Structure 1
Amino acid sequence: MGTIERTKKKNHLWKKAFGHFALCFVMGFFTGFAPPSTATLFAGRAAEHLPGRSIGILPTAPAEAVERVLEPGVAVNRTMIEIPRSVPTAAVGRGGGDESGDDPPPPLEEARMRELQTPSQRLLIVVTTTRSNDRFQGAFLRRLANTLRLVPPPLLWIVVQAHAGASATASMLRTTGVMYRHLTFKENFTDPEAEADHQRNVALSHVEYHRLTGIVHFAGASNVYDLQFFDEIRQIEVFGTWPVAMVSENRKRVVVDGPICHSSKVEGWILKDLSSDRRLFLTSTDVSTTPSKINISGFAFNSSILWDPERWGRSTSLPDTSQDSIKFVHEVILEDETKLKGIPADCSRIMVWHLHIPRVVPLPFHNQNHDKR
């Protein structure tokens, strides 16, 4: 009798377990056909009906891509990556001519608090200007993007370009995996220098309005960098400077332009041609007290000097500081060398090379065909 009762109890447990299994299976089967949540369902529908924007995720970008479609008749359009909240800067930039969805600039106190971060966490704001009708522009930007992808975040790449050729660049920037903002303008220029200054003012006005707290560097599209350079400029408190090697293959020239330093203190400036002298012997005639011409790729500065000048001993009543920010930067560089920090220590290494690329490059077989004729 004891054996029969135990057998009945065992069979009852098996039937109970099988019933639970069948119930869970049926519930899981039908749950699989339901959406994960109503929030996800409605969010997807809202994104599908959002006019004038497309939303996607870059393969290696740490943030969501928010693209503003380029439209004729709008003064400034841009393709930009929304900066995540963990990065100490504003999320969405201002567009000239279409400011309906713009965010107001953050309070000054909040922007100042961001400066308390450690140097390794400082935002790098790399500004790149472009030249009109430059057929190598796409290749240069792609190469610079590959360099910036190797720089530890946070980093924001600001590319400024004329409106006419912005569509192709916008498509390329979306595939770089670099956090960027694409700013465009509609003005026409015949002077390349005036156009470059205007582009820099467009970028600096964007930085000033949104109080983007970080270290600003103007990176030429044809520049070549040592990756340690980006770690060095994060140490800048006010202004930093370094020597730049300007290389011209077709002219067979190498010119060094930059500061002479002692323990990061700037003591003079040189502009020396090393084409026939590979050993850089300096004489008193080679060193000047002020730079003969400011090489903008040889400087970086704390962006807060634009929107918080009183902190750095500048008067807010200076004329044309907001309309011509790059002129403001030039004045600060020239007026007080004590604010400049030489990079690296003693300015003893070249970490930035500027390549001179001619507008017209002859093909290898061009001379041979010409000789046959």
Structure 2
Amino acid sequence: MNRVLGGNLRKEILIISLVGLVFITFMFTTLILEEHWKLSERKYCGRLQEEIINSPEAYNQHTIHAITSTYTRLSQKADLTSLMQTLMHLHNFHCWIVIEDSDEKTALVTKLLKKSGLHYTHLNIKNSEQTKCVKHLQTTNAALAWVRKHIGPDEGVVYFMDDDNTYDLKVFEDMRTTKVASVWPVGLATDLIVEGPALCKDGKVLTWRAVWKPDRKVPIDMSGFALSAAFLRHHPDVYFIDVEPLESQFLADLGLTKDRMEAKANNCTEVNVWHTRTKKYIPHLEDEALKLGPEFNPNVEV
């Protein structure tokens, strides 16, 4: 009887030992395979990264610095929120330079920028009321001066963004390949459906679509061009001046001409930015609503 029990016990111990050995072998093999997979993945990612860096498309990774002048109005928060939501979708977006037409930074813009999660610089300066043609002359030039002082010569491209325009993400990807100065068509500009470069071939602009002052040296809207940071640094004394056409004179003072502009937007066959403008909103019924009492008029920022 004892021999039988002893034999059964030895069999159970043997079975348990075999099961444990199989389990340990399985776990050890799994760990080896996992480490091998991780090593292979790192090697693959390294090769992939190297291929990207060494490829012509690597030039597309240039950073973007966007300058936006803004001023207090009823639609300001709505306009800036729309623009902010667009910029949040961009990769390799380095800095949003927002400059207020104000003697001091406003709480509205400060809070909006803080919650955006974007890398930004918040500036302010009061525009002069003495300018004849350009309302945002001082703000734009102050932002331009900040760019020249703080952004290195090899740090991508600079783009001027109106706070109430509409932008397709593709316009930003296009400008990343800017060597000196790039250009593309702008929708809804200067009372036209589209203005700017019309017929383009092999990255060169052959004809320009412009009716308002068609003899402009570079007939383009502010949102229709981007400049390399290096190029701007090479022209430290060139700023916007109080003349019309503002953009064309600025580009001409930089030494740019129509034939030097680099055509983007699939050889100017696409419109990816629109010069939309928020119509001045007049709340005609607001006085009637205020008469309803405090329970109908909460103190809320719009």
Same fold (TM over 0.5): yes
Task: Give 1:166 deviation, angstroms.
Answer: 2.4
Distance 1:171 1:356 in 2: 24
| TM-score, scaled relative to structure 1 | 0.52
2:134 to 187, 194, 197: 194
How far has the Cα of 1:236 moved from its partner? 0.7
> Any idea what the Cα deviations from partners look like across 1:192-217, whole Å, max 9, x if unmatched?
85331221111110111123422111
1:268 aligns with 2:194: no
Asked if structure 2 preserves the Cα contact closer than 8 Å seen for 1:166 and 1:184, the reply is: no
Q: How much has 1:136 moved relative to structure 2?
A: 0.9
2:210 counterpart SS class: strand
| SS at 1:358 equivalent | coil
CA distance in 2, matches of 1:185, 1:217: 20
Cα 1:164–1:190, aligned 2, differ >3 Å: closer, same or farther? farther
Tell whether 2:73 aligns with 1:134.
yes
Corresponding residue of 1:217? 159
TM-score normalised over the length of structure 2? 0.64
Structure 1 residues 225 and 187: CA distance shift in structure 2, 3 A: closer
Distance 1:289 1:236 in 2: 25
**Matching of residues 261-340 of structure 1 within 5 Å:** 261-271=200-210, 290=216, 293-309=219-235, 322=237, 324-327=238-241, 329-332=250-253, 335-340=256-261
Give me the whole-angstrom Cα distance separating, in 1, the residues matched to 2:121 and 2:217: 31
Local SS of the residue matching 1:199 = helix
Q: Could you tell me which residue of structure 2 aligns to residue 348 of structure 1?
A: 269
1:207 is the counterpart of 2:147: yes
1:180 is aligned to 2:113: no
The equivalent of 1:73 in structure 2 is: none
> In structure 1, how many angstroms separate the alpha carbons of the residues matched to 2:134 and 2:181?
24
Question: Share of identical aligned residues, percent?
Answer: 25
C-alpha distance in structure 2 between counterparts of 1:332 and 1:180, whole Å: 28
What letter matches 2:230 in structure 1?
S
Using the alignment, how far apart are the partners of 1:224 and 1:326 within structure 2?
Answer: 23
SS in 2 for 1:194: coil
Partner of 1:357: 278
Higher relative contact order (CA 8 A, sep 6+): 2
Higher Rg of the two aligned structures: 2
1:361 offset after TM fit, Å? 4.6
Q: Is the 8 A contact 1:247 1:354 kept in 2?
A: yes
Q: In the alignment, does 2:179 pair up with 1:237?
A: yes
Q: Deviations over 1:6-48 (max 9, x none)?
A: xxxxxxxxxxxxxxxxxxxxxxxxxxxxxxxxxxxxxxxxxxx
Equivalent residue letter for 1:138: K
| Gap regions ≥5 residues in structure 2 | 1-56, 242-248, 288-302
Say if 1:190 and 1:140 are closer, same or farther in 2 by CA, change over 3 A.
Answer: farther
What do residues 113-161 of structure 1 show as CA deviations (whole Å, max 9, x unaligned)? xxxx942321101111113x42211111111000000011233111011
Aligned residues: 221
Contact 1:246 1:355 in 2 (8 A): yes
Label 1:163 to 1:359 Cα distance change in 2 as closer, same or farther (>3 A): same
Secondary structure at 1:139 match in 2 = helix
Q: Which runs of 5+ in 1 are unaligned?
A: 1-116, 273-285, 310-320, 367-373
